[in-house]
Structure 1
Amino acid sequence: MVQAYSLYEGSFSVDKSRKFVPFDPSVDDPKDRPGSMFIHVHPFLIKTTSGIVLCDTGLGHTDDRCVLKLHNNIRKLGYEPDDVKYVLMSHLHKDHAGGMVSMESGSPRIAFPEAEYIVQRGEWEDAYSGISASYRTEIFDVVQRSGNLVLVEGEGQVNAEISYSHNGGHTAHHQAFHICSNGQHYFFGGDVLPEPEEIVHNYVAKYDFDGRRSKELRQVYWEAGAPAGWIFLFYHSKGITLGRGQQRPDGSYKLIEAK
């Protein structure tokens, strides 16, 4: 049984300003937002035997009480933010890292006080280097002061169930995660494999640090994971958010929804 869940934060349009503007397709017309990309944001919660795991933290949008939507979505599943033991950060762009902290108390505090935040050291250093406006260092300052930050390098194990691997591609120090628990193998590729369509229509994306590497890695992950029954978590999906491979009669694999 799959024990991973989308913590869907919403749909957004993004233009050259790199601002994420909420977009409701039932009300808003994409023609009114020329030059925009339209993306969904899906942090993920995974129940493991070693505790609750989060894969990235969204934009950090809140309700009218300044409560993170991420927290509300976690509570809808029957858990509390304090139940989260690991926050696995693929990278630190603002649409993935905004929910690392909370303003509910009126001042910025770490959003998951019982969790270790797993970040590649090179990504952390790049976030402070000024190379991209997609990093919000005021958030990272709070995380650093908390004592919950765990900087890792290359590849290794967080615990017996969670492994990480530097893969580059989207950012120079982007990382992917494998979470193996309760008989399931979950794969979180972050923005190297953010949408299921990229498995079929693979391409070099202009927004990647190294688009060719991302393109190659997507193929590698699919060819390894589809036959092995991995459950792929798609952070920016507009359709299937959790998918796995199903073998066709000709021996190839197609993506189906994981249940």
Structure 2
Amino acid sequence: MSHASRLLRRGLAAAGLALAALGLQAAPAPVKTQVPGYYRYANGDFEVTALYDGYIDLGTSLLKGLRAPEIQSLLARMFIEHSKGVQTAVNAYLVNTGEHLVLVDAGAASCFGPSLGQVQDNIRAAGYKPEEIDTVLLTHLHPDHLCGVLDKSGQPAFPNATLWASQGDADFWLSEKVAAAAADDAKPFFRMAMDAVKPYQAAGHFMSFKPGEALLPGVSVVPTPGHTPGHSSYLFSSGKQKLLLWGDIVHSHSVQFQHPEVSLEFDVDQKQAIATRKALFQQAANAGWAIGGAHLPFPGLGHIRKDAKGYAWVPVEFGPIRSDR
């Protein structure tokens, strides 16, 4: 041990003795774990629990319709670091209607790496059990919304639930013919979708719906195609309160609210996705609907405000659960 190291150790020991003599002690080691990833919200008499699945880093080159310097400027205004990709939340939502326990989207499980896959744990942390869920509504059949329907052993994570997806998405993502014709880099998305729903199909627990069909009391389907052929959002209505859980309408809140004409490379039909987003922004802002977004900063709940240029995202504030608003 060097002379300098010995002096440092003696100094630290002396400092510890001095603190002890004063009845003080050094600060404890930092706690580097985050709080459990759930947040409660009241939509009328419906209890809504936002569930954090984790995050994925999305490269800014995936955004289409604005030049790179404009996108970087919009991110900088929001103090968003993007050199390694923008940290983008993946959220799901558990809604207790009093009659049904409904999960909207299920997270990625192990399909997209270690930064995701927390939905099932956060359901338990929130005081529920996966086997208590009776309905799973999927906004679409992309892996970060679907793979979480299976547990670590590849069995249904929600064994007592019926799994619902739109007929449009089922016809696309579960078709061997469509998968065979897809680009090579897209083929794994088809296989992951097929593998995820297979156990539910075998148990007779996978169902598809067409636009306009009623699924549950207080829940209506809002067709929002473009990101995928049958992409769907769900409007939960209780009394005068309405909450739209909209899946992948927005991937970058810092860019797409002000510029809804910006699409994402993963949109199956970018032109349709843009048209859907513009119409939905206008409808939600005019109606004052609350919004829950799968890729908005957790808990992904808030409202849309019309601005002089485009729209703005107004997130909820932390507070007690109240249904009288």
Superposition TM-score tier, normalisation by shorter sequence = 0.7 to 0.9
Which has the larger strand fraction? 1
Q: Which amino acid aligns with 2:51?
A: L
Question: Percent identity over the alignment?
Answer: 23
Counterpart of 2:105 in structure 1 is 56
1:177 is aligned to 2:234: yes
The runs of 5 or more residues in structure 1 that have no matched partner are: 16-28, 63-67
SS class of match (1:54): strand
* 8 Å Cα contact 2:250/2:293 also seen in 1: yes
Alpha-carbon distance in 1 for matches of 2:246, 2:154: 28
Counterpart of 2:297 in structure 1 is 238
Residues 247 and 122 of structure 1: is their aligned pair in 2 closer, same or farther, counting only changes over 3 Å? closer
1:134 is aligned to 2:178: no
Which has the larger helix fraction? 2
Structure of greater Rg = 2
1:101 is aligned to 2:146: no
Q: How far is the alpha carbon of 1:246 from its aligned partner?
A: 5.5
1:255 is aligned to 2:313: yes
With structure 1 as the length reference, what TM-score do the two structures score? 0.79
Q: Which amino acid aligns with 2:57?
A: S
Alpha-carbon distance in 2 for matches of 1:138, 1:253: 38
Q: Which has the higher contact order (CA 8 A, sep 6+)?
A: 2
SS class of match (2:233): strand
Q: How far is the alpha carbon of 1:182 from its aligned partner?
A: 5.8
Of 102, 115, 140, the residue aligned with 1:91 is 140
Of 201, 208, 227, the residue aligned with 1:151 is 208
Counterpart of 2:162 in structure 1 is 116
RMSD: 2.8
Q: Deviations over 1:9-61 (max 9, x none)?
A: 1122357xxxxxxxxxxxxx965x5xx55422111112223222111111114
Counterpart of 2:282 in structure 1 is 223
The runs of 5 or more residues in structure 2 that have no matched partner are: 1-41, 60-80, 112-116, 318-325
Alpha-carbon distance in 2 for matches of 1:211, 1:96: 20
Q: How does 1:178-217 map to 2 (within 5 A)?
A: 178-181=235-238, 183-197=240-254, 198-202=256-260, 203-217=262-276
Residues 234 and 195 of structure 1: is their aligned pair in 2 closer, same or farther, counting only changes over 3 Å? farther
Residues 247 and 140 of structure 1: is their aligned pair in 2 closer, same or farther, counting only changes over 3 Å? closer
Runs of 4+ in 1 over 4 A off after TM superposition: none
Q: Deviations over 1:99-141 (max 9, x none)?
A: 11113xxx42211122221111231232233133223122221
Alpha-carbon distance in 2 for matches of 1:182, 1:195: 31
